[in-house]
Structure 1
Amino acid sequence: MSEKSASVHWEGAGKAGQGQISTETGSLHKYPYGFASRFGDDRKGTNPEEILGAAHAACFTMAFSFACDKAGIATRSVDTTARVRLVQDGEGFKIDRIALTLDADVPGIDEARFQQIAEDAKRNCPLSKALAAVPEITLQATLKKS
């Protein structure tokens, strides 16, 4: 069993407020976020969707690599991007799509087996399971030709 933690400190009201995100490992320490980094073009801070995308991409990538390993297939390199879309939902917002893009160098695997392992990893990684309420989680998987 594993349990990790993150914390947020927020000061100010609504759009004018500013938050700081910290993680247990210290990889984020009082990292800024706020309205402008979430809905505007402020690139000095982060936002929940970006962090969620990073977490999902990392989880999926590990699940894919571990599944290949279990099948006796070694991965050479695996690159994943997760695009998280936040849309208006009445007076609030919701995440309605996460698009995963996988580019992997996996010698000795055929396209059909590659796609099967990638889809299984998408369906079974812990973050995909936790995000089951997101209406659409897509995967575009590309096997690099060595």
Structure 2
Amino acid sequence: MTNIENAKNHVLPVELVDHYIYLGHKITLNSENQVAEVGRRIGQAWAAFGANSHVLRSKKIAQHLKTKVFNQCVLPVFVYGMETTTLTEKSAERLRVAQRAMERQMLGVSLQDHKTNEWIREKTRISDVVEEIESLNKDLKEAQVNSDTTQEYWARTKPSGDA
């Protein structure tokens, strides 16, 4: 008997779950997919922030270098796979709040210091996570339009004598 025959003769139990991770995305079996995925993205971004905290929280490293590390190591984790998502206002705000918390830690500023979001962004000069996601959405839509146009062009220029 081969492994394939063994597989055909045995029924493996399938576990019933509320959610699962597929290709790095959290999939839930209800209408809260976006909420779950945004929460997962925030958690993953905090993990990336923590992995680079020796740089991002350092008082000895210049802010422009911290910004580069954030934009290259943390921001991609925030936006991974979100180019196909249309964010709700609530989800966008959750992403912005998490990003501002990271920026405050980079600057060594607490909420009790009463610094405005504009002041924080001026100091860190970090790309806004929601704007990055919207830019990716726009780029994806443009790529789809260009792809459709290219396919239409080749469909029109196909020689009629080909079988």
Query: TM-score over 0.5 for the alignment?
Result: no
Q: Normalized against structure 2, the TM-score is what?
A: 0.33
More strand by share: 1
Max Rg structure: 2
More helix by share: 2
Q: Normalized against structure 1, the TM-score is what?
A: 0.36
